A = this chain, B = another copy of it.
Amino acid sequence: MSPRKSAAEARSTRRRIIDRGIAIASVEGLEGLTIGRLATDLGMSKAGILGHFGTKETLQLAVLEGASAVFVHSVWHPAEDAPPGLPRLRALCEAWIGYLEHERAVFPGGCLFTTASVEFDARGGRVRDAVARLSRVWRRRLAAEVRQAVAAGDLPAGTDPEQVTYELVGCYLALNQELQLLADPEAPARTRRALDRLLAPDAPVHPR
C-alpha cells in the first residue's frame, strides 16, 4: 500500500469511528461511548480504535468536535448568506428549529451538546471545558447577530444582545426537551411564536 493511500484510509477509518461515536454518544452520553461498544459496532478491534485516538478522552473530544461540525453545517451554513441583521438572525433560528426537528438522522438520541452539557456540568476536565467553550462560541455568535439587527434598526435601540441570546437559548432548550422527552408535535410552532415576540421590531426593549 502506498503511504498516500494508507493516510487516506486512516482518515476514512477515523471518520467512520467519529460518525458512529456521535450516534452512540447522542443516546448513551459521552461517558457511555465505550471503546468496546465502538469496536463491536464497527467490526474493529479495541486496539484498532485506540490506535486512532489513544485515550477515551481524546475520542470524546474528537466526537464533540465532529458534532460541532454537524451543527455548523446544519444551522450556520444555511443562514450565512442571508442579509446581516434580522433576516440572518431569523434564518439562523429557523435552521436551528430544523436541526432539532430532523437531527435524529444524525443524532439518534437528540442534540449531543445538550446531552453533553448536562452530563459534564458537574465535573471538571477537558471534555467539560470543550462543551462550555462551544456553548460560549455559539452564544457569542448569536449575540453578534442580535447586535447587527439592532445596528440595522431591525430591533429596538437599547436592546441587550446578551439578554436576547439568553432567551433564545432557553427557547431551544425547551424545544429539545419537548421534542425528545415529551414528543410534542406543537413544539416547533411554539418556538416560532416565542421568536415572533422576542424578535419583533417593536418588541419592548430588553433592558441591560
A189 and chain B: residue at smallest CB distance: B163
The reply on A117 being an interface residue by CB < 8 A is: yes
**How many chain copies?**
2
Which label, helix, strand, loop or mixed, suits the secondary structure of the A interface?
helix
**CB-contact partner of A174 in B128, B173, B182, under 8 A:** B173
- Contacting B at CB under 8 A, from A118-175, are 118-123, 128, 131-132, 135-136, 162-163, 166-167, 169-175
Residue among A29, A171, A172, A174 with max Cβ neighbours from chain B (10 Å): A174
Query: In the complex, A194→B182 CA distance in Å?
Result: 24
Query: In the complex, A171→B170 CA distance in Å?
Result: 5
List 16 additional contacts besides A119-B119, A166-B190, A170-B172; criterion CB under 8 Å: A27-B122, A27-B123, A115-B118, A115-B119, A117-B181, A118-B119, A121-B177, A163-B190, A163-B193, A167-B171, A169-B174, A169-B177, A170-B171, A170-B173, A173-B174, A197-B204
Give 5 CB contacts A-B under 8 Å.
A31-B32, A110-B122, A117-B177, A119-B119, A166-B178
